[in-house]
Structure 1
């Protein structure tokens, strides 16, 4: 039986969407393991400001399968189980338009993006799913995808491709894990006002970025976190396999 206080593992939780997701679950009474890569000070600040008790913090390089296994094992050790996994971690975005970059930089961009955004997410999904199956009472896996998976990213093609593959991986896992009562969904945000995007929102691009949505603004991390929280609920089981667009009507798929 799933306890009232669920055990939540959020990757990339030091800042931005991941931090907002961790806060949303903690404010609702859940216990959260915050994963981070290298942003130790930011991650410590994030976990210290979470409401409630018993939250954990663990650093892991998601390019390393061994460290991913350690992350999930430590989550089980500290929190007792894994009820929800939120795949939020992503490699830093470095522009690599095909007509401007060297072949070496092109290869490096693709390698970096796929290792974290796709393979890392697939590996942690595997490890968390094994634990959920062992527990025997289901679970939830929510991936943070992107609008760029559908509309194209000419300045960041590896990013767009990695997110498209993440969407597809989530749908495959939804079918594979359904017999174990594990729902797998993906949210696909558009532009979000995170720390990573603050420079662009304060610069010459700001007006163009804001105009992409008919609402005349970008999303807050908290708006994305609210959708993630719903998808982790009992009521959202029937959403398994879905890719939910959260882009303020800035991109509408047919």
Structure 2
């Protein structure tokens, strides 16, 4: 893709799933990548998968629930490569123990909602806040936030997760409108059912069949399906796209 080679990008959630696939895709396009995540072992696995391209990869642990941790992570990214051209915000609160308690509003758990919003919305907002000065200094760039099909489906659960992603759409459009004149683009990508390593371990045959029944295409998503769209939106080939929430879900949702 045009406009990725030699540029530097942050990818949060870079130790697994869509985040790891995005890291590897950007590296393959000649970019320098700073991958962040909570688990050292996951980041180490991404580095191993990068092979000979690992010279252009910096990995660092950080926590989206901790403002100082985010500030340190973004500063490390800009100091290490001397510039920042874009951010892929992939990380989210998806721990099984948290998701299992994220049920209907009639059983609303304040602790769950607090952690989900702190991670998915506020933490992502701080990553954007800390990244914007360096992106502007580089002459502009692209921010891509990973959302979900959840806000469009209105299902019974997980309610806090879907609400946080809907709020992320507003944050995305605020960023696009406010920073567009400084050549900063902001978009969100909304995946459907994606068979990440973690999802494959917990998704039952019944759940898989239910998603397949609602999806127009004959398969569920793979992390590389999302990595392709993220790379496109970060690249110069997506240079006139901003403020959009783009569904990449095999036709699970069909919306204008």
Q: State the TM-score, normalizing by the size of structure 1.
A: 0.92
Instruction: Give the 3-state SS of the residue equivalent to 2:35 in structure 1.
Output: strand
Instruction: Give the 3-state SS of the residue equivalent to 1:49 in structure 2.
Output: helix
Give the match for residue 98 of structure 1.
Answer: 104
Question: Does residue 1:44 correspond to 2:44, yes or no?
Answer: yes
Give the match for residue 245 of structure 1.
Answer: 247
Taking the TM superposition and a 5 Å limit, the aligned residue runs for 1:28-39 are: 28-37=29-38, 39=39
Instruction: Give the 3-state SS of the residue equivalent to 1:204 in structure 2.
Output: helix
Instruction: Give the 3-state SS of the residue equivalent to 1:249 in structure 2.
Output: coil
Structure 1 residues 3 and 191 mapped into 2: Cα distance closer, same or farther (>3 Å)?
closer
Whole-Å separation in 2 of the counterparts to 1:224 and 1:107:
31
Deviation for aligned residue 1:167: 1.1
Contact 1:33 1:58 in 2 (8 A): yes
Give the match for residue 126 of structure 2.
Answer: 123
Give the match for residue 164 of structure 1.
Answer: 166
Q: Deviations over 1:58-112 (max 9, x none)?
A: 11111111111101110012121111100000002513323774x5xx1111011
Contact 2:187 2:242 in 1 (8 A): yes
Whole-Å separation in 1 of the counterparts to 2:75 and 2:120:
21
Cα RMSD after superposing both structures: 1.7
Give the match for residue 195 of structure 2.
Answer: 193
User: Structure 2: 5+ residue runs without aligned partners?
Assistant: none
Whole-Å separation in 2 of the counterparts to 1:109 and 1:217:
32
Instruction: Give the 3-state SS of the residue equivalent to 1:238 in structure 2.
Output: coil
Deviation for aligned residue 1:10: 0.2
Contact 1:139 1:182 in 2 (8 A): yes
Contact 1:211 1:217 in 2 (8 A): no
Contact 2:4 2:235 in 1 (8 A): no
Contact 2:27 2:56 in 1 (8 A): no
Whole-Å separation in 2 of the counterparts to 1:251 and 1:3:
30
User: Structure 1: 5+ residue runs without aligned partners?
Assistant: none
Whole-Å separation in 2 of the counterparts to 1:47 and 1:161:
33
Taking the TM superposition and a 5 Å limit, the aligned residue runs for 1:92-241 are: 92=94, 94-95=99-100, 96-98=102-104, 101=107, 106-135=109-138, 137-241=139-243
Whole-Å separation in 2 of the counterparts to 1:173 and 1:140:
10
Instruction: Give the 3-state SS of the residue equivalent to 2:145 in structure 1.
Output: strand
Deviation for aligned residue 1:49: 2.0
Instruction: Give the 3-state SS of the residue equivalent to 2:41 in structure 1.
Output: helix
Structure 1 residues 73 and 215 mapped into 2: Cα distance closer, same or farther (>3 Å)?
same
Give the match for residue 58 of structure 2.
Answer: 56
The alignment covers a number of residue pairs equal to: 248
Tell me which stretches of 4 or more aligned residues in structure 1 moved more than 6 Å: none
Whole-Å separation in 1 of the counterparts to 2:9 and 2:59:
12
Deviation for aligned residue 1:3: 8.5
Whole-Å separation in 1 of the counterparts to 2:71 and 2:195:
31
Whole-Å separation in 2 of the counterparts to 1:112 and 1:242:
26
Deviation for aligned residue 1:247: 1.1
